[in-house]
Amino acid sequence: PMGSERTEIRKRQMATTPETPGAAQAQLSTGNRGSNACCFCWCCCCSCSCLTVRNQEEERARRTSHELQAEGIPNCEESPAPTLEEVNAWAQSFDKLMLTPAGRNAFREFLRTEFSEENMLFWMACEELKQESNKNVIEEKARLIYEDYISILSPKEVSLDSRVREVINRNMLEPSQHTFDDAQLQIYTLMHRDSYPRFMNSAIYKDLLQSLSEKSTEA
């Protein structure tokens, strides 16, 4: 009788313990793989924690890029307040907008809201380069323009096609006032076709026009 009781007790103990150490280890391994699936397998589900971290890092990189674009931006050009006639003329053509410092300043303010102010800054830097005659100054300014707006490592890189980039790379062997002429024209055309129509419909332009119109009426 005592032997049979011990046998029953042993059976009940075995029924309540894990099947085998190997099975327990397999369950533990499965649990770990489930919590870090994308770290150990080729596929990755949208709820994976690693994917969430990756998305957060990409968003942080984009935000940092925009913050860097806002740093070190030169002050707007000094200019008298635009007249109503000047602001109306901006609507006639992009060339008339870009001819006046007040027009460029207003357009820059709009480009900043679209995170594309580097296009205007690049264009202005090219204009300044054309005014230089000292060889050493030209080489230094050309180098800075390349680092700030052409290099793919710069957060202020402008959008240029491969042909123009090849021209720039050749020109940089012996920089001159006209090293970036092709690139400047391409960016000018981009601003004209892409940003200028939106600027004309923006609150920045409409508010300025309305303010000057009201002042003109009061006078």
Whether pLDDT at 81 is above 50: yes
Query: Do 80 and 102 touch, CB atoms closer than 8 A?
Result: yes
Give the C-alpha separation, 6 to 128, whole Å: 99
More confident position, 181 or 39: 181
Cα separation, 118 vs 102, whole angstroms:
18
Radius of gyration of the chain (CA): 32
b/e 100-109 (16+ beta carbons within 10 angstroms → b):
bebbbbbbbb
Dihedral, CA of residue 195, residue 200, residue 205 and residue 210, to nearest 10: -170
Local structure of residue 202 (DSSP, 8 states)? S
pLDDT tens readout for residues 95-105: 999 999 999 99
Closest CA to 179 of 155, 156, 149, 152: 149
Position 11 confidence tier, pLDDT thresholds 50, 70, 90:
low
CATH superfamily of 84-218: Regulator of G-protein Signalling 4, domain 2 (1.10.167.10)
Percentage of the chain with pLDDT > 90?
61
Answer yes or no: is pLDDT of 64 > 50: no
Q: How far apart are CA 175 and CA 153, in angstroms?
A: 21
DSSP structure string for 99-144: HSHHHHHHHHHHHHHTT-HHHHHHHHHHHHHHT---HHHHHHHHHH
Answer whether residue 127 shows pLDDT above 70: yes
pLDDT digits (tens, 9 = 90+) for 107-121: 999 999 999 999 999
Residue 218: pLDDT band (50, 70, 90) is confident
- Looking at per-residue pLDDT, the higher value among 22 and 83 belongs to 83
- The pLDDT of residue 216 is 85
The reported pLDDT for the residue numbered 77 is 77
